[in-house]
């Protein structure tokens, strides 16, 4: 049985680096329905950027292909799936290690999955060599009352 979603969005674009910003903004606009804080929105945008960039640089390398983004809203959670039909990941556990990279010549290499894990509540990677990769990320948007209480506690504990 399929989960009941409050809303769903699908996006598909060519694996060009100029489309990374488009994906980030589109997902942020969709996530805005949950009324996230600026910080929560920044976390989502950063994670989407990292996952899309991984698909462009590692999945397709110098070839062009399609990247698919699917977002679902359930209660106060956003579930984001970013998938490609690129070359796949040989060793997912190694790829999740900080500073592990197959492209040492590139700036900022090896931190994509580490960044995603630190900004999102959960991350799952599915990959089959030669068939592609799907990264599923989940972020729970805290309710405004919780956020205000946390901010108040931070201010009064100093």
Nearest alpha carbon to residue 42 among 112, 119, 114, 109: 119
7, 61, 97, 108: the catalytic one is 108
20, 24, 40, 54: the catalytic one is 54
Read off the tokens for 98: 């900080």
Its sign, for the CA torsion 48, 81, 63, 57, is: positive
- Of 99 and 13, more confident: 13
pLDDT for res 157: 73
Q: Going edge to edge, which strands form the sheet with 77-84? A: 7-14, 66-74, 77-84, 132-140, 122-128
Residue 78 has pLDDT above 80, yes or no: yes
Looking at domain 7-156, its CATH class is alpha beta
pLDDT for res 1: 40
Q: Among this protein's residues, is 149 annotated catalytic?
A: no
Read off the tokens for 9: 């969005």
Q: Among this protein's residues, is 72 annotated catalytic?
A: no
Q: Among this protein's residues, is 124 annotated catalytic?
A: no
Query: What mean pLDDT is predicted for residues 23-44?
Result: 97
In degrees to the nearest 10, what's the CA dihedral of 13, 19, 20, 26? Answer: -70
pLDDT for res 154: 72
């Amino acid at each position: 049985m399929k989960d009941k979603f409050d809303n769903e969005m699908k996006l598909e674009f060519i694996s060009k680096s100029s489309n990374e910003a488009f994906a980030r903004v589109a997902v942020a606009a969709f996530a805005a329905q949950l009324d996230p804080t600026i910080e929560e929105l920044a976390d989502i945008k950063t994670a989407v950027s990292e996952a899309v960039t991984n698909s462009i640089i590692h999945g397709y390398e110098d070839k062009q292909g399609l990247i698919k983004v699917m977002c679902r809203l359930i209660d106060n959670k956003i579930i984001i799936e970013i998938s490609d039909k690129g070359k796949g990941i040989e060793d997912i556990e190694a790829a999740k290690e900080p500073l592990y990279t197959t492209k040492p010549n590139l700036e900022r290499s090896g931190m994509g999955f580490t960044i995603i894990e630190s900004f999102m509540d959960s991350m799952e990677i599915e990959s089959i060599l030669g068939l592609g990769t799907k990264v599923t990320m989940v972020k729970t948007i805290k309710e405004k009352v919780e956020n205000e209480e946390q901010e108040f506690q931070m201010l009064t504990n100093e």
